[in-house]
Amino acid sequence: MKAGMRANLVQGVNLTPQLLQSIRLLQLTSQQLEQELQQALERNPLLEQDEPADESDAPAADAASAALETAAWDELPEPSFLAGIAAGGSAGDDDGMARIADAASSDPRVRLLRELALHWKPADLELAAWWLDRCDDRGYLEQPLAELLAEGRAAFPQQADELEVVRQRLLHGDWPGMAAADAGECLSAQLAAQPAGPLRELAACILRDHLALLAAHDEAGLAHALAADAEQVRAAVALILSLRPHPVEAPATDEAHVVPEVVAWFAGGAWRVALNPRTTPKVRIAPHCERALAGGGAGDHAVLKGLLDEARWLVRGLGMRNDTLLRTAQVLVERQRGFLERGDEALAPLTLREVADAIGMHESTVSRIVAGKYIQTPRGTLELKRLFAVRLEGADIGGTAVRAMVKRLIDAEPANAPLADDVIAGLLARQGVRIARRTVAKYRDQLSIGPVRARQRVAARA
């Protein structure tokens, strides 16, 4: 047996303490990050929590090494081997559509005003605050509109002409129906946000001219008054019933409050995205400490210089984390614009790899940055994972969108003749979505909807 030597070239990643810290910052939720920063502030006297981190604190020479470390993150496996890091949120939790109450205030008017402050002018914001102060907890005006307009003209003589304009912006804004004078105006504002078409026009006509017949559930009377087909009237009534009776959604029953890391809103004909200032870290290196250490010898302040390097790594890591989160959210909002405007049926198939390619990073980086993070949108506060969807085999649509279609078909089915799973599959096939009957049954079970026989029994008892 001969002994020999052989050289092998192996490519790997050196997990330095600084790199591990950067990985931790990348995947921490806002609550975890707050705790991490508090510990860092207590441990390092060179850090202070005041203004946002100043990019000039990081030497220009460090930019290249920071970029290399960012690339190094991308080559690491999923970070399950790192102890003590809880990603937060459950991958199996599919119900991200419920609005999650903001921990800062339980008053919906305060939450809406904070959203408006991101893109409204101060003068308009003042009028909006005046209108919201005269709304009840459901979002309706507490006094007759004519009385409030007279009161507003006396309070804002220079902006009297803008009072009703601002109310209309609230009425048709992020929370449709807000500051409505009555239920009809609230429902009409929500209906205006639905996709245009004959069905919406018929529903608008019912709300405008035949509210009494609608309240009496007289579909035959509506069909006669509108000279419309009974099926069309039934579909229009179903569309109206799908709207909320008041603009303010019921608060989440879960005691755990989540503050979204990202906020998305529609303004100026485009979707805007910004980091939530409440969850954006605000730490920096104390300028006087850095200047004092800049002139000393290598051995004079060895311990303090070590703390300075640690502080620089933290500030730079925070900046990279926030930049990655913002760019990821921008891509998600851009790709899922249809979903944000029209709902689940418009949720486009989207994978981690597609988002990673768009921001120039590895998909494992995207996986870390979206874990446990939330985004506040006009459609509610959603987990970022909610904006991803798996593409169905052989189709250009995702499972979430198909499930929403199944729900829509079942909601609109005749009460005395529920649709069987194979019939639903056939109706979807006519729309270009080909799925098996068992797939329809799976989505129906996920929606907690019984089979056709159970729905027939319920209709018979009713």
Q: How many helices (H) and strands (E) are present in the chain, helices listed first?
A: 21, 6
What is the rounded distance in angstroms from the CA atom of residue 374 to the CA atom of residue 370? Answer: 8
Q: What's the rounded mean pLDDT across residues 167-178?
A: 88
- For 38-52, 166-180, 423-437, which range has the lowest pLDDT when averaged over its residues? 38-52
Specify the higher pLDDT residue, 194 or 21: 194
Asked whether residue 110 carries a pLDDT value surpassing 90, the answer given is no
Q: What's the rounded mean pLDDT across residues 170-193?
A: 87
pLDDT tens by residue, 404-436: 888 888 888 887 888 888 888 888 888 778 878
Among residues 349, 353, 432, which one has the least CA distance to residue 391? Answer: 349
pLDDT tens by residue, 347-381: 888 888 999 999 998 888 888 899 889 999 988 88
Measure Cα distances from 283 to 20, 51, 286, 319 in Å. 20, 7, 9, 10
What is the rounded distance in angstroms from the CA atom of residue 404 to the CA atom of residue 399? Answer: 9
Give the DSSP per-residue string, 207-248.
HHH-HHHHHTT-HHHHHHHHT--HHHHHHHHHHHHTS-SSSS
Q: What's the rounded mean pLDDT across residues 163-167?
A: 92
Q: At what angle do helices 437-446 and 421-430 cross, to 10 degrees?
A: 110
Residues 131, 181 contacting (CB under 8 angstroms): no
Residue-range domains of the chain with CATH? 108-241 (no CATH), 262-387 (no CATH), 399-461 (1.10.10.60)
Q: What is the mean pLDDT of the chain?
A: 76
pLDDT tens by residue, 46-79: 888 755 444 444 433 344 344 444 444 443 434 3
Report the pLDDT value the prediction gives residue 9, as an integer from 0 to 100: 61
Report strand pairing: 380-383 vs 374-377.
antiparallel
Report the pLDDT value the prediction gives residue 240, as an integer from 0 to 100: 84
Name 180's Cβ contacts closer than 8 Å, sequence gap at least 6: 139, 140, 141, 171, 186, 189, 247
* Residue 270, number of CB atoms within 10 A of its CB: 8
pLDDT-based confidence at 15, cuts 50/70/90? low
Q: What's the rounded mean pLDDT across residues 120-147?
A: 87
pTM, to two decimals = 0.51
pLDDT-based confidence at 238, cuts 50/70/90? confident
Q: What's the rounded mean pLDDT across residues 15-22?
A: 60
Please compute Rg for the chain using Cα positions.
28
Report the pLDDT value the prediction gives residue 444, as an integer from 0 to 100: 85
pLDDT-based confidence at 455, cuts 50/70/90? confident
Report the pLDDT value the prediction gives residue 52, as an integer from 0 to 100: 45
Report the pLDDT value the prediction gives residue 327, as an integer from 0 to 100: 94
